[in-house]
């Protein structure tokens, strides 16, 4: 008599899976560093290039790290898996979330996954052909990601989307080339400096944001929420 073995199949690009099956296969492949479920389809990244992904990724993480350390209650995550809905489990390059105990719209589940939409997500992509600007954008919009930032490396372009009335609108830089977050007060980004690789200027502008009255009020607001919770 033949006995069927319960074999967990490996993940493959293009697989159409339920979220539980996706997680089961992902967990069975500890050597795999990044895989995403977008609209029920599996996407697996190829080897990460140095100049075209790893370096800009590091710049973004550094910028967000400085902000999060200066803003208690705001949490930074690098390549964290996010359960958005039954068909979507992305692994964004970076995200900021407000702690759920302070009014944030996502939470950390018992098995240590993020559930729900973080307030801000950043993706680093090659060009406009990427699914980050199409399928993912629609998924993030539908699930309520308040700000979605996309750095298109080949196009030397940085777009900052803000969710308003169910649609993403692009925030434009001010006359100094600075975009200021509407969700995280004090999170300022000098777009020309970023695109030119001038990290020192990026951090100098961010420090100006952290010194602003808007950021101080936000920190106080988070602190007050914690006290009265």
Domain count along the chain: 1
Per-residue pLDDT of 173-201, as tens digits, reads 999 999 999 999 999 999 999 999 999 99
d(CA 165, CA 76): 26
In a domain, 185, yes or no: yes
In a domain, 11, yes or no: no
In a domain, 157, yes or no: yes
Nearest of 99, 96, 85 to residue 20 by alpha carbon: 85
Read off the CATH number of the domain in which 163 is found.
3.90.1570.10
In a domain, 53, yes or no: yes
In a domain, 216, yes or no: yes
d(CA 25, CA 99): 29
pLDDT band at 53 (very low <50, low <70, confident <90, very high): confident
Could you give the angle at the alpha carbon of 110 between the alpha carbons of 107 and 115, nearest 5°?
30
- Report the range of poorest mean pLDDT among 3-7, 32-36, 73-77, 105-109: 3-7
Cβ–Cβ under 8 Å, residues 75 and 64? no
In this prediction the pTM is 0.92
In a domain, 33, yes or no: yes
Helix (H, G, I), strand (E, B) or coil at 198: coil
Domain that holds residue 124: 19-228
In a domain, 159, yes or no: yes
In a domain, 124, yes or no: yes
Per-residue pLDDT of 7-26, as tens digits, reads 788 899 999 999 999 999 99
């Amino acid at each position: 008599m033949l006995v069927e073995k319960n074999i967990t199949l490996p993940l493959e690009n293009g697989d159409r899976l339920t979220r539980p099956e996706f997680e089961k296969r992902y967990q069975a492949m500890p050597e795999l560093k990044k895989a995403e479920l977008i609209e029920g389809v599996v996407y697996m990244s190829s080897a990460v290039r140095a100049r075209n992904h790893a370096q800009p990724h590091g710049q973004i993480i550094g910028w967000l790290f400085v902000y999060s350390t200066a803003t208690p209650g705001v949490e930074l995550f690098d390549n964290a898996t996010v359960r958005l809905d039954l068909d979507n489990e992305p692994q964004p390059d970076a995200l900021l979330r407000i702690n759920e105990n302070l009014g944030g719209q996502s939470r950390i589940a018992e098995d240590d996954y993020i559930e729900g939409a973080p307030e801000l997500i950043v993706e680093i992509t090659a060009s406009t052909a990427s699914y980050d600007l199409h399928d993912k954008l629609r998924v993030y919009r539908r699930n309520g990601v308040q700000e979605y930032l996309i750095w298109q490396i080949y196009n030397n372009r940085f777009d900052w989307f803000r969710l308003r009335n169910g649609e993403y609108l692009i925030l434009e830089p001010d006359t100094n080339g600075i975009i200021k977050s509407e969700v995280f007060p004090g999170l300022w980004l000098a777009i020309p400096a970023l695109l030119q690789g001038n990290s020192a200027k990026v951090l100098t502008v961010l420090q100006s944001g952290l010194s602003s009255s808007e950021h101080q009020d936000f920190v106080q607001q988070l602190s007050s929420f914690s006290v009265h919770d």
